[in-house]
Amino acid sequence: PQWAVIVAALAPLLPALLMLRAYATFLNGIDEFQRRIQTDAMLISAAVVGFGSFAYGFLEEWAGFPHLPLIWVFPALIGVWGLAACIVRLRDK
């Protein structure tokens, strides 16, 4: 039945939400300097992936670029966040 397919498709969201809760707990337990590194990295990641996916959407629509599924936006966000955290940490050392 359709409802079972929907439940199965949304099942991976539960571990992702638990991960978000664990990260919020981690963020509340670190000092101000580490919190600033993490928030700067999140902002950089949101900007890079947000504007990058926005621009790529225009390229898909009007320049004939190949379609990329939206499921890749969140992993890109996490990957850029990790890279940005390393860069911000080295910058502020």
pLDDT in tens, 7-50: 999 999 999 899 989 989 999 999 999 999 999 999 999 999 99
pLDDT level of residue 93 (50, 70, 90 thresholds)? confident
Taking 90 as the threshold, does the pLDDT of residue 92 lie above it? no
Q: Which of 70, 71, 54, 56 is nearest to 12 (CA)?
A: 71
Taking 80 as the threshold, does the pLDDT of residue 62 lie above it? yes
Provide the mean pLDDT of the chain.
Answer: 93
Task: Please give the distance of CA 45 from its chain centroid, rounded to a whole number.
Answer: 7
Distance CA 50, CA 81 (A): 12
- Ramachandran region, residue 11 (left: φ > 0; alpha: ψ -120 to 50; beta: rest): alpha
Q: Within 10 Å of residue 76's Cβ, how many Cβ atoms? A: 15
